[in-house]
Amino acid sequence: MAVRELDASEREAALAGLPGWSYDAEARGIKRTFRFADFAEAFGFMSRVAILAEKADHHPEWFNVYNRVEILLTTHDAGGLSERDIALATAIDRFA
């Protein structure tokens, strides 16, 4: 079954359960910035997320500088935000 983009009401309902995440209309996905005590903590977080993402075969777009990790989740095959992004964001939040 093909992955489909969430409509506006589905997106808003999903975001209500994801504090800290916001919708990026230009990227057609959700984003969040995480801050840690230092680079080692940030890198450890990224390593845990990388393992999750690989198992889910759904990979984030991200950026890291020292203690800050910025993550964008979107599903290119769906043309925007999908349930796969919501599921991965929920799992990522367990590590934060």
Assign residue 38 the CATH number of its domain: 3.30.1360.20
- Identify the pLDDT of residue 76: 92
pTM of the entire predicted model:
0.94
**Own/partner pairs, 21-28, CB within 8 angstroms, 24+ separation:** 21/89, 23/81, 24/72, 27/61, 27/72, 27/74, 28/74, 28/79, 28/80, 28/81
Residue 12 maps to a domain: yes
Residue 20 maps to a domain: yes
pLDDT in tens, 7-31: 999 999 999 999 999 999 999 999 9
Residue 14 maps to a domain: yes
Residue 1 has pLDDT above 80, yes or no: no
Q: What is the DSSP string of 38-77?
A: SHHHHHHHHHHHHHHHHHHT---EEEEETTEEEEEE-BGG
**Distance spanning both ends of the chain, measured CA to CA:** 31
Residue 2 maps to a domain: no
Residue 1 maps to a domain: no
Residue 62 maps to a domain: yes
Q: Which domain holds residue 66?
A: 8-93
Number of domains, the chain: 1
